């Protein structure tokens, strides 16, 4: 980690909904970067707020700004309110579900509207691990980028491609951080140690205080309890299609019975800060390459 960069002043970040017409007209839109998070309102265990994925997605892009190289610090970053049109949410009261086609339509309309106003760089953040959701984001971004000759990129997908080979699990990336046992990260896909730690760092006031008493629960462990053999694939590599299908089906059954997967009891705000710094630094590297025009569109998506 480059400590000199973290010590510099962060780039200008403006919330879109707070702008007036006068302030908006003063912006050089060709130099602006629009940020928007597309993540669900969804049950995340008994202990995390429904907006966990959106709050983490916004926290990730804000943390990325700390690590941007100097050549991009003069840009203005405009943050739109988050979009909660997301698919494959947990089937529990409190979750809001949309079809993937809805997610695509909303983001296509957004991208076209921004492109028509002269914005050339649009970064979509997310922290919802459903493949159908981030593929919908990728498809919308790719279409707008081709149609309007702009750069609209799902930064979450770029990170998945670089860090995990397409999996939503982060044990290979985060398992070496102080304060975490690598094995606790296996199967940690929803409301577990990774997400609970990030929310403790970002918004501790919205985390239920008894999170530490929650036991570790995973899809594979639950399937074994049912007398079934979990689908297997080699860690760190994209799974085959049938393995993915079987894993998805097993996950659906698990989340009808459970509301989180992982070990939230092992979470801490200190670990959350380390996770955000790790992902933020990696994200900033990718964003710089996108803004520099050296990362081709063929690498703006996940392996899926």
Q: In CATH, what number does 3-166+276-299 get? A: 3.40.50.10310
State pLDDT tens for residues 55-107.
999 999 999 999 999 999 999 999 999 999 999 999 999 999 999 999 999 99
Predicted local confidence at residue 246, as pLDDT: 59
- Is 80 exceeded by the pLDDT of residue 168? no
The total number of residues shown for the chain amounts to 304
- pLDDT bin (cut points 50, 70, 90) of residue 234 is low
Domain ranges of the chain: 3-166+276-299
Residue 16, pLDDT above cutoff 60: yes
pLDDT at 4 over 60: no
**How many whole angstroms separate alpha carbon 71 and alpha carbon 301?**
25
Q: Is pLDDT above 80 for 231? A: no
pLDDT digits (tens, 9 = 90+) for 125-151: 999 988 899 999 999 999 999 999 999
H-type alpha helices, the chain? 3-7, 21-25, 52-66, 100-116, 131-148, 155-163, 171-174, 193-202, 219-225, 241-257, 269-292
Per-residue confidence (pLDDT) for residue 5, from 0 to 100: 43
Report in angstroms the alpha-carbon separations of 58 from 13, 71, 116.
Answer: 12, 23, 25
Q: Look at residue 252 in the predicted model and tell me its pLDDT.
A: 82
**Residue 21, helix vs strand vs coil:** helix
pTM for the complete prediction?
0.89
* Tens-digit pLDDT profile for residues 205-229: 999 999 999 999 999 899 899 888 7
């Amino acid at each position: 980690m480059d400590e000199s960069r973290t010590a510099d002043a962060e780039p200008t970040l403006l919330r879109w909904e707070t702008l007036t017409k006068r302030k908006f007209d003063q912006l050089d839109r060709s130099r602006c970067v629009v940020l928007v998070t597309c993540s669900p309102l969804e049950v995340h265990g008994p202990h995390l707020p429904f907006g966990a994925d959106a709050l983490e997605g916004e926290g990730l892009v804000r943390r990325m700004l700390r690590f941007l190289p100097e050549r991009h610090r003069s840009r203005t970053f405009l943050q739109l309110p988050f979009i909660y049109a997301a698919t494959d949410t947990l089937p529990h009261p409190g979750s809001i579900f949309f079809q993937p086609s809805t997610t695509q339509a909303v983001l296509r309309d957004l991208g076209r509207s921004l492109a028509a106003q002269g914005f050339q760089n649009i970064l979509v953040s997310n922290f919802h691990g459903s493949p159908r959701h981030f593929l919908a984001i990728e498809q919308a971004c790719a279409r707008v980028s081709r149609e309007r000759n702009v750069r609209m990129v799902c930064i979450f997908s770029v990170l998945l491609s670089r860090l995990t080979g397409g999996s939503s699990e982060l044990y290979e990336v985060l398992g070496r951080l102080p304060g975490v046992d690598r094995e606790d990260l296996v199967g940690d896909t929803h409301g577990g140690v990774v997400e609970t730690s990030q929310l403790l760092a970002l918004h501790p006031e919205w985390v239920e205080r008894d999170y530490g008493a929650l036991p570790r629960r995973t899809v594979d462990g639950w399937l074994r309890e049912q007398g079934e053999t979990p689908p297997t694939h080699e860690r760190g590599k994209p799974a085959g299609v049938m393995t993915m299908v079987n894993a998805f089906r097993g996950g659906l059954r698990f989340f009808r019975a459970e509301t989180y997967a992982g070990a939230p009891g092992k979470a801490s705000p200190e670990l959350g800060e380390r996770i955000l710094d790790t992902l933020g630094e990696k994200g900033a590297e990718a964003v710089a390459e996108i803004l520099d025009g050296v990362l081709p569109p063929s690498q703006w998506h996940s392996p899926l």
